[in-house]
Structure 1
Amino acid sequence: MTGDGDGRAGLPRIAVVGAGIFARTQYIPRLREIAHLVVLKAIWSRTQESAKAAAELARDFAPEIECKWGDAGLEEIIGDSSIMGVAVVLAGQVQVELSLKMLKAGKHVIQEKPASASTTEAETALSIYNSFPNQFPYKPIWALGENYRFEPAFVESSKLIKDIGDMMNIQVIIEGSMNSSNPYFNSSWRRNFVGGFVLDMGVHFIAGLRMLVGSEITSVSSISRHVDMALPPPDNICSLFQLENGCAGVFVFAVNSRYYGESMEQKEQFK
């Protein structure tokens, strides 16, 4: 494996597919922090201008970074055997398709949330992914970039909850404020995504809920509404759900609040 001339010859090489707000403000800074562990070899965008702008942000820790753009650029990343892993940081509508292309090429993938545009797409993609072991000497890893699973508070809370007692019921209440001051307010893919900001933001809290209670959701019934016409529908949702352990709970989420706050309560029956 060729090196960068700075003693990092043996490090794994990765590519970032996507050069939007999240890739520029989150992925590049985090990759800078772990530049001693991985080499950012390439970054891709739909346009040359966008790819070059993002690459310049990473030039200080990845001096030999390559700019890729368009269909030809994607094919170059897919065909580059030195790239072991790819971060897919694109619009939610196209992430699964791109992730599968990279996985089929034998590359490990970390894909940003949301995991898919629908349960049908997710089930189909998982079926394809599960067929890969017969095609490669190893199965490429497909990971979802859901950060709440790694938040120290959630990790520690999940340990403590197990020792408190029997769970009686759960209330999850989130009041989000998505307005013009938020950099994602005008994000076109989020506005055109089924579920809008409720889905885009809500997956974090569902991930946190599942981690804390240590039990999967088996049934759910919801009512959604569209109140703020400046936001895509729906902008608030009220749900009743049941866990596989029999416990019931409510999930209330609004993205049109004037202020931001959240409450995740779990009432326990102590023995």
Structure 2
Amino acid sequence: MAQQPPHIAIIGAGIFSRNTYIPRLAEISDLFVLRAIWTRGAVEIAKKFFPNVECKWGETGLSEIIDDVSIIGVAVVLAGQAQVEMSLRLLKGGKHVLQENYYQGLNIVAYSAVSELETAMSCYNSFNVAPIWAIAENYRFEPAFVEGRKLLSEVGDIINVHTIIEGSMNISNPYFSSSWRRSFEGGFILDMGVHFIAGLRMLVGCEITSVSALTSHVDGTLPPPDNISSTIQLENGSSGVFVMVVSSKSPKVLWRVVGLKGTIQVERGNIDGKHGYTVMLFTGDGGNKSWFYPFSGVTDELKTFLADTSLATMKKDQSFPVEHRLSFLEGARDVAVLEAMLESGRRQGATVQLARYRANLSAVSLDTVAYVTPYS
């Protein structure tokens, strides 16, 4: 007998839920059944694609989703500060969770001994059955970074890496007026930057061991800081820079890895009306090749979560390791780098080591949210 598609729910009706999650889920609607959406704010949009979806709200509606044994997976797409508490409640109720934002709620700073992370993971590990706890970080699923990583052997030993981010967070951007993104230290640097760090770590295939950064606040319409310039040290011995400006009149998003035998470049752009990334390989003989990959990270990420939840449900104890790109630990490491940069900025460029943070993370039992190195 063919396995039935998993039944899932969505918690949240913010901008990303309405504009991205629901439309992307509609593209793969043959892979699952959307049973419920918790909020009134997005039900009309959801019903355009999923006419049978039930609208839930309030404490009663949330309890109904948790008590519904047919719903095995939930996408939590709330304001960052509410993510962890909601995820833990759903996990305790036996639901597999795809948590959209990692950082707030776990206010991880390089010198905080990750106490909040340890508290959350201790709570998670106390559950009799620990479902999948996945952290959405769609850049790791973008084909440009997957394919760019495969090209690393073509450029030889890494000499230098640099990431240049000139964003366009202004009044025309739908996220500009988002209040929750303005209510924590780091603001858009942390909210946006964690994705760019994920892309960087995916591309270079090794960890960042230390950073030294300077930050400042120039644009008064944005929360501080609104720009950051950081040097980074990689565990392979090479170094580089990470520069991010939250709002620029001439946006640019670029990663570049310079090696002994060539260079890899990944740059965001638009070709024939499709938004995505161009991957370029420059070789030592003066040649170059390029490939364009349209955005598909969110869709591929959702497909992976749905597949993992189905496989986990087939096992009676639900013990199934989530795909490494969705792992809780990968999200933690992305945030650790940004928090270390912000910490360094507060200390006028002092070097901040990430080794201690990673050691603490390694001591945290992840159980079913298993970390499998993506770089081997």
Q: What's the TM-score bracket when you normalise by the shorter of the two chains?
A: 0.7 to 0.9
For 2:12 and 2:125, locate their aligned partners in 1 and report how far apart those are by CA, in whole Å: 25
Distance 1:253 1:123, change over 3 A: farther
Give the counterpart of 2:42 among 30, 39, 54: 54
For 2:85 and 2:21, locate their aligned partners in 1 and report how far apart those are by CA, in whole Å: 21
- The answer for the alignment partner of 1:40 in structure 2 is 34
For 2:3 and 2:204, locate their aligned partners in 1 and report how far apart those are by CA, in whole Å: 43
- The answer for the alignment partner of 1:128 in structure 2 is 123
Choose 243-252 or 165-174, whichever is displaced more.
243-252
For 2:215 and 2:64, locate their aligned partners in 1 and report how far apart those are by CA, in whole Å: 43
Give the counterpart of 1:171 among 152, 162, 168: 162
Q: What CA deviation, in whole Å up to 9, does each residue of 1:85-105 have, x standing for no partner?
A: 000001011101111111111
Secondary structure of the corresponding residue to residue 99 of structure 1: helix
Q: Identity, % of aligned pairs? A: 61
Q: What CA deviation, in whole Å up to 9, does each residue of 1:204-227 have, x standing for no partner?
A: 110000000110112222221111
For 1:245 and 1:129, locate their aligned partners in 2 and report how far apart those are by CA, in whole Å: 33
Secondary structure of the corresponding residue to residue 241 of structure 1: strand
The TM-score, its normalising length taken from structure 1, stands at 0.88
Distance 1:123 1:250, change over 3 A: farther
Pair 1:200-2:195 in alignment? no
Q: CA RMSD in A?
A: 1.9
- The answer for the alignment partner of 1:156 in structure 2 is 147
Deviation at 1:242, TM superposition (A): 1.4
For 1:124 and 1:25, locate their aligned partners in 2 and report how far apart those are by CA, in whole Å: 33
Q: What CA deviation, in whole Å up to 9, does each residue of 1:137-156 have, x standing for no partner?
A: xx411111111111111110
Secondary structure of the corresponding residue to residue 162 of structure 1: helix
Deviation at 1:191, TM superposition (A): 1.1
Q: Which amino acid aligns with 1:42?
A: A
Secondary structure of the corresponding residue to residue 259 of structure 2: strand
Structure 1 segments (4+ residues) deviating >4 Å: none
For 1:34 and 1:182, locate their aligned partners in 2 and report how far apart those are by CA, in whole Å: 27
- The answer for the alignment partner of 1:23 in structure 2 is 17
Deviation at 1:131, TM superposition (A): 4.1
Give the counterpart of 1:77 among 52, 56, 65: 65
Pair 1:241-2:235 in alignment? no
Q: Does the CA contact (< 8 Å) of 1:115 and 1:144 recur in 2?
A: no
For 1:68 and 1:9, locate their aligned partners in 2 and report how far apart those are by CA, in whole Å: 27
Q: Which runs of 5+ in 1 are unaligned?
A: 1-7, 46-50
For 1:61 and 1:265, locate their aligned partners in 2 and report how far apart those are by CA, in whole Å: 39
Give the counterpart of 2:80 among 87, 92, 95: 92
Deviation at 1:126, TM superposition (A): 3.0
The TM-score, its normalising length taken from structure 2, stands at 0.64
Q: Does the CA contact (< 8 Å) of 2:12 and 2:77 recur in 1?
A: yes
